[in-house]
Chain A
Amino acid sequence: MDDSITFLHSSDWQLGMMRRFLGPDGQARWGQARLDAVARIGEVAAATGAAFVVVTGDVFEHNQVERQTILRACEALKRIPVPVVLLPGNHDALEPGSLWTSAQWQAHQPEQVTVLTGTEPLEIAPGVEIVGAPWRSRRPLSDPAAPGYADLTPAEPGTTRILLAHGQLTSLSGGMSDVPTIDQAALEAAVADGRLQYVGLGDRHSTTRVTDRIWFSGTQEVTSPEEDAPGNVLKVTVGAGEIEVEPVRVGAWHMVDHRVELFDEESLTALEDWFAELPEKERTYVRLAGDGSLALPLLSRLDAMIDAQGEVFASVERWAKFWTVRPAPDAADLDALQLSGPARAAMEELRQALAGGDEGAGAALSLMHRLARDAG
């Protein structure tokens, strides 16, 4: 493509984000990974010859993140060798007390970085104009993208105009959004009549193509198992009448939901195999949903397995909401312990209580089973 321009589109870095399920160690490594992914965007820019990088909102998790986060972000940004344009999103809105107007940011802001604080077009490169709709409040009263292009006339011939906006599209939010959404039809109309050549959107963490020229880049590093295609940066090339958008992976982490049904030794083995096959375990968070019931020895084995995998993986968690695996003690288990007298009677009592729906009895029974086994 002649006269084309290539740039990178990223969003939702959310630097400073915490994840409870990762634990202190996992949290530290994952936090660093999100910065590393930013640095990798710089590598991608260098590799692809991108003219600049745009980040469409939520660079930071909060306006009140700690100083370390800001300074490390600045360091990561410095490693991007091309101009970078940042758009304030809902997490880091240009509200009073905003990070962007703080002395901390302004003292360390790298030279090639521009924060879009208004809607005036910015000529980032010859023939390339960036317009943005920064969030001025966490609770906008209308379409958060509209201020960016509402007053625009069609671009001059030969000028490529890029809109940076942040927010949910009505079609994708499922009507769940409690803030006004972006009017997709109006946006498409603006693209159609030549006012905008590309619309870079943020807020959705999964890389999502809305139309050829309207994209959510998604987050640079996964933040939740629910995300579809996170961990990418978009390489966008706009030419005369043409556009090419290509996701390039920069993320290193995985967050996985896994649902299992456990009822016998085989199902347990299958779960072990599933764990074994996962790659990059130290950078993977697994959230297990489970159902079924297991004999006491199997339950002990399951506990041990999850416990052990928790050490291997960044984190393995039973998904409390969807975890209903119960002990199923049968007489054979108890007989195998060769208990007699009061011990046997006590265990039998607990077993019957469990059968009667007493969840506490299940835990007690498992414990007693383990103690008896170990003592025997």
Chain B
Amino acid sequence: MRLLSLALRDFRGVRDRIVRFPALGTTVVVGDNEVGKSSLVEAFGLVFDLPDDSKSTRIRDIQPVGQDVGPEVTVELTLGNRELSYTKRWLKNRSTELAVVEADGRRRSWTGREAHNEAERLFRQHVDPVLWQTLMVSQGQSLVLPTPADAEPLITAVTAESGTPVDGASMPLVTAVEHEYLRYWTRGGRATGDFARSEKAVATAELTAAQALKAMEEVQQDIRRAERLTLDLQDVTGRLTDHLTSVEELRERKKATDEILLRRDSVRHRAETARARLENHTRTRVERERLLDEAERFAKIDAELAERRSDAETVARTAVESVHAAEAALAEVVELKDARRTDVQEAERQVSELMDRAELDRLLGQQAELVDVRARIAAAGTVLDRIKVDDALVVALESARAEVVEARAALAAGVPEVSVRRLGAEPVELSGTGLDGGAREVPSELGFDESAEVLVSGELVVGVPGQVEVTVRAGGEAATLRSRVDEAVRREKDLLKKAGVKDVAAARELLRKADTATAELHEARRTERTLTTGGDPGERIAVLTARLGVGADDDVEAEEGGGKQPAVEGVPGQMSLFEEFASPHDTLDFEDFEVPVSAPDDLAGAQRALEEARDALAEVERLLGDAEFAAAQARKAADEDRSEAQQARARSELAGERLAAAVEALEAARDLLDDDAVSAAEAEATGEVEAVLEELAAVQEQADAAGADQIAGELTDALAVAARLQGERDTLRDALRTTEGRLEQSGRDGLATRRDLAELELAGVRAEHDSLQRRAEAARRVHETLSRHRAEAQTKYSEPLQSRIESLGRSVYGPSFRVWLDDDLAVAERELDGARLPVEALSTGAQEQLAIITRLAISHLVSTGESSVPVIFDDALGWSDKARLRDMGALLGRAGDHGQIIILTCMPDRYEYVPKATFIKLDA
């Protein structure tokens, strides 16, 4: 399509205007606001959309305000190879006129509704609505990115470019498939509409059918139950009838046998009476026999017990004697023990005295030694007192000595040493002060050839009388050295005086002597301590002396003289009493008991005597234990024997009493009935019992023959069975009635019909559902298959459009410009200088530019075909900066090379860079 001209009359604010467009190239229609630029686009739409008699508000809106005039539009355009002139006036003087000039020059025209229809048909035939909508950008829409996926000419174009076969008929099919799919499925793939309802209907019908079937099954079960109950009831009723007959028979038989039983009862009663009498007689006889037996038995027992009693008394007497003997023996042993204890005490006294005496001797020796030691201590003390030298004094002496020597040495070194020698005959006199001749005294005069060496610390005057006098004076230092020597000598002398010795060596000798004396003193003292450890021996001596008497020896003599103990006499004579207790090796040798008369000083002998006395005592104590035990045993035995004798006497007396009682009872019984009469009465009763029993046996035989005893039980059992059968019958009858009642109700409810209807219904909805399901599956299959192929194809289509957009875009943005399309072939992302962004994230200006570029690309792609349409921008590029305006202008200009581009604007300077543009100015 190419738009050639648009003429408006009485259209909104436009009184009368015609605008002509070049068929090719870019046209910029410039006009201020409100002059009717947008009306041009609107008019073009209305002229094809609405017939002249339309009452649409869209028509009312275009009528100039306040004027009762008919808006009129005339459009000239090419469609295919035809040229059309189409005029329409609404509201007032309505008219429609269409003139068509075919390619071959034929001219046709229509008017009125026919004109409208033909125009509409031609428009639809040549203009793809999607493409038209895509490329006609009304005011304010310039930012909207085109989504041209379903624009057929575009598909055709890109298909041609991409080499994919032309898909001319696919769009209506796609719609139809989509429509068919949506009849059964939601876009999410869930069942919907009739199909979903049918699924629910099936479920409902299934439930209903199942319930109806179950109800009917219950009916069948009831029928079977009732059939079974009927059979069971017949069976039970039959058995009950038979049974009641046999019950009657039993009753008859019972009546007949009752008489026999009555008779048997009478005989049985008599038999019991006879048997009781017999028992009575028998009891009497047995009692008599018992009495006799008892009398005899008690007599025998009495005799036995009397004998046993006398024996026991004899034994008891003997036992008493044994006790006396044992006690006598015990007394003797006690006596013997006292004697032996006295012996022991005497022996102990002797041993003690002897030990005291020995102790006294030892103490006397010790005392003498102590006196000696103490004399040594006193001597050593005296020596030590005399010696005043001690270790410290000796050290001080030695130190003083050393100081003297040292001072002298210093003097010798520090003062002039003057050697004077007399060579001649003239005396040489020496005098002065502070002179030291060393070891020798400085002579006052020298002999011939004598010489003296003097250390001068003061003044030496050497004079040869009459001839010469030489004075040697020591310096100041010499005096000091001299005084040191003097001081040292003085101190040494003091110390020696204090020590009382001549010199150091003497002091040392004294010190050695003092050490020896000290050692001796120590040794003596230790000895003294040893001797006095057990206390002062003097005290012990006094005690012992006192204990031993005036003269120790006398006392001992006296004691020993009277210490002889009398021997134990007569003991062996008593031994006969112990013979049974003593074993042979315990036999005592009484000779050992004689105490030897030992020498007074023989301590060892005395101790031996003591040991022996103690052994003898222990032996006697053992004998005493044995004797005590024997006596206790004898007493115990005697007690037992006495008790036994008492019991025997008591029993014997009791037996005597019982015997007397038995004899008395027997006599009393015999007084009533003698022994022979008792036997006779029993025999008579026995005969009577035998006779009655014979009679009873006969009657029983009769009863057995008639089965009289069983019949009552049989009857009871039979009645119980009858009752049970009746109960069973009643139960069955009730159950049957209940079941039949239920069945009657089922019949009234028409359950079988209900079941059949439910199944019918189920089959119906199932068939419908199956059919729907098949169709739904088919629809899904077709939809899925076609969608898949379309998606694949679209992937192919997008490439040409993408490359066209990119090639246009690069002229504006440079070589790094790239875009990506989505499934609807809309631009989804843009990349520039390596930065890839979704379209929504781009700036407004960039979005608008991209939208324009995309439209130009689409236009470019379809421009070659007959389906091409003009690209119309009702104002655009409002967001682009100067630099971009230049590039976009160039682009719009180039786009005009291939198609018809129409731009409506009030800002012509935005488009001043569009080369070769035709500018049309609209005036108000």
| CB-CB nearest 8 A-B residue pairs | A97-B743, A341-B167, A66-B750, A96-B226, A62-B752, A364-B781, A342-B789, A64-B752
Query: Which stretch in B112-120, B169-177, B567-575, B812-820 binds the other chain?
Result: B169-177
Q: Are A360 and B764 closer than 8 Å at their CB atoms?
A: no
- Closest A residue by C-beta to B736: A96
Which residues of the other chain, A, contact B753 by a CB distance below 8 angstroms?
16, 18, 62, 64-66, 69
- Closest A residue by C-beta to B740: A96
Whether B431 sits at the interface, judged by CB under 8 Å, is no
Whether A176 sits at the interface, judged by CB under 8 Å, is no
Whether B777 sits at the interface, judged by CB under 8 Å, is yes
Q: In the complex the two chains form, what is the Cα distance from A376 to B760 in whole Å?
A: 41
Q: Are A375 and B176 closer than 8 Å at their CB atoms?
A: yes
Of B159, B174, B177, B226, which contacts A97 at CB under 8 A? B226
Q: Are B169 and A340 closer than 8 Å at their CB atoms?
A: yes
Of B172, B219, B764, B778, which contacts A64 at CB under 8 A? B219
Given A102-B744, A338-B169: A95 in contact with B227 (beta carbons within 8 A) = yes
Which residues of the other chain, B, contact A64 by a CB distance below 8 angstroms?
216, 219, 746-747, 749-753
Instruction: Give 1 or 0 for each of B740-784: 1 = CB within 8 Å of chain A CB.
Output: 101110111111111011011001100000000011011101100
Whether A138 sits at the interface, judged by CB under 8 Å, is yes
Of B174, B175, B176, B781, which contacts A350 at CB under 8 A? B781
Q: Are A343 and B774 closer than 8 Å at their CB atoms?
A: no
Query: Which stretch in A43-51, A157-165, A366-374 binds the other chain?
Result: A366-374
Given A97-B743, A97-B746: A341 in contact with B788 (beta carbons within 8 A) = no
Q: Are A97 and B785 closer than 8 Å at their CB atoms?
A: no
Which residues of the other chain, A, contact B749 by a CB distance below 8 angstroms?
64
Q: Are A18 and B757 closer than 8 Å at their CB atoms?
A: yes
Instruction: Give 1 or 0 for each of A46-74: 1 = CB within 8 Å of chain B CB.
Output: 00000000000000011111111100000
Of A99, A102, A340, A346, which contacts B166 at CB under 8 A? A340
Given A18-B757, A104-B747: A372 in contact with B173 (beta carbons within 8 A) = yes
Within 8 A of B (CB), among A127-154: 137-138
Of B750, B777, B779, B793, which contacts A65 at CB under 8 A? B750
- Closest B residue by C-beta to A60: B752
What are 11 A-B pairs with beta-carbon distances under 8 A?
Answer: A16-B753, A64-B746, A68-B750, A96-B227, A96-B736, A96-B743, A338-B168, A341-B165, A341-B170, A363-B777, A371-B180
Q: Are B747 and A99 closer than 8 Å at their CB atoms?
A: yes
Q: Are A20 and B169 closer than 8 Å at their CB atoms?
A: no
Which residues of the other chain, A, contact B778 by a CB distance below 8 angstroms?
360, 363-364, 366-367
For the complex, count residues of A whose C-beta is within 8 A of B: 50
Task: Name the residue in B169, B180, B748, B790 with the highest tally of chain A Cβ atoms < 10 Å from its Cβ.
Answer: B169
Interface SS of chain A: helix, strand, loop or mixed? helix
Which residues of the other chain, B, contact A312 by a CB distance below 8 angstroms?
none
Q: Are A346 and B782 closer than 8 Å at their CB atoms?
A: yes
Q: In the complex the two chains form, what is the Cα distance from A366 to B165 in whole Å?
A: 24
Which residues of the other chain, B, contact A62 by a CB distance below 8 angstroms?
752-753, 756
Q: Are A372 and B752 closer than 8 Å at their CB atoms?
A: no
Whether A332 sits at the interface, judged by CB under 8 Å, is no
How near does chain A come to B787, taking the closest CB pair, in angstroms? 9
Binding site for B on A (CB under 8 A): 16-18, 20, 23-24, 27, 61-69, 95-99, 102-104, 137-138, 337-346, 349-350, 360-361, 363-364, 366-368, 371-372, 374-376
Which residues of the other chain, B, contact A338 by a CB distance below 8 angstroms?
168-169
Which residues of the other chain, B, contact A360 by a CB distance below 8 angstroms?
777-778, 781
Which residues of the other chain, B, contact A375 by a CB distance below 8 angstroms?
169, 172-173, 175-176
Q: Are B748 and A67 closer than 8 Å at their CB atoms?
A: yes
Which residues of the other chain, B, contact A95 by a CB distance below 8 angstroms?
223, 226-227
Q: In the complex the two chains form, what is the Cα distance from A103 to B741 in whole Å?
A: 11
Q: In the complex the two chains form, what is the Cα distance from A204 to B331 in whole Å?
A: 145
Q: In the complex the two chains form, what is the Cα distance from A345 to B785 in whole Å?
A: 9
Binding site for A on B (CB under 8 A): 159, 164-170, 172-177, 180, 216, 219, 222-223, 226-227, 229-230, 736, 739-740, 742-744, 746-754, 756-757, 759-760, 763-764, 774-775, 777-779, 781-782, 785-786, 788-790, 792-793
Q: In the complex the two chains form, what is the Cα distance from A99 to B743 in whole Å?
A: 10
Q: Are B781 and A361 closer than 8 Å at their CB atoms?
A: yes
Q: Are A97 and B167 closer than 8 Å at their CB atoms?
A: no
Which residues of the other chain, B, contact A96 by a CB distance below 8 angstroms?
222-223, 226-227, 229-230, 736, 739-740, 743
Q: In the complex the two chains form, what is the Cα distance from A346 to B753 in whole Å?
A: 50
A-B contact count (CB 8 A): 170
Of A27, A65, A345, which contacts B752 at CB under 8 A? A65
Of B172, B216, B782, which contacts A364 at CB under 8 A? B782
Which residues of the other chain, B, contact A349 by a CB distance below 8 angstroms?
785, 789
How near does chain A come to B509, taking the closest CB pair, in angstroms? 150
Q: Are A337 and B169 closer than 8 Å at their CB atoms?
A: yes
Q: In the complex the two chains form, what is the Cα distance from A67 to B743 in whole Å?
A: 14
Q: In the complex the two chains form, what is the Cα distance from A158 to B170 in whole Å?
A: 89
Q: In the complex the two chains form, what is the Cα distance from A299 to B889 in whole Å?
A: 60
Q: Are B176 and A343 closer than 8 Å at their CB atoms?
A: no
Given A18-B760, A341-B166: A137 in contact with B785 (beta carbons within 8 A) = no
Q: Are A363 and B781 closer than 8 Å at their CB atoms?
A: yes
Which residues of the other chain, A, contact B165 by a CB distance below 8 angstroms?
340-341, 344
Other than the given A363-B775, A364-B785, A371-B782, 18 more pairs (CB < 8 A) read: A16-B756, A18-B759, A23-B764, A24-B764, A63-B223, A63-B752, A64-B747, A96-B229, A96-B740, A98-B747, A337-B169, A340-B165, A343-B786, A344-B167, A345-B792, A363-B778, A364-B781, A376-B169
How near does chain B come to A122, taking the closest CB pair, in angstroms? 24
Q: Are B169 and A339 closer than 8 Å at their CB atoms?
A: yes
Q: In the complex the two chains form, what is the Cα distance from A367 to B750 in whole Å?
A: 44
Which residues of the other chain, B, contact A340 by a CB distance below 8 angstroms?
165-170
Q: In the complex the two chains form, what is the Cα distance from A371 to B748 in whole Å?
A: 53
Which residues of the other chain, B, contact A371 by a CB distance below 8 angstroms?
173, 176-177, 180, 782
Q: Are A346 and B789 closer than 8 Å at their CB atoms?
A: yes
Task: Name the residue in A23, A346, A363 with the highest tally of chain B Cβ atoms < 10 Å from its Cβ.
Answer: A346
Of B223, B742, B779, B786, which contacts A342 at CB under 8 A? B786
Of B176, B743, B779, which contacts A374 at CB under 8 A? B176
Q: Are A376 and B180 closer than 8 Å at their CB atoms?
A: no
Which residues of the other chain, A, contact B756 by a CB distance below 8 angstroms?
16-18, 61-62
Which residues of the other chain, B, contact A339 by a CB distance below 8 angstroms?
169-170, 173
Which residues of the other chain, B, contact A368 by a CB distance below 8 angstroms?
177, 782, 785-786
How near does chain A come to B219, taking the closest CB pair, in angstroms? 6
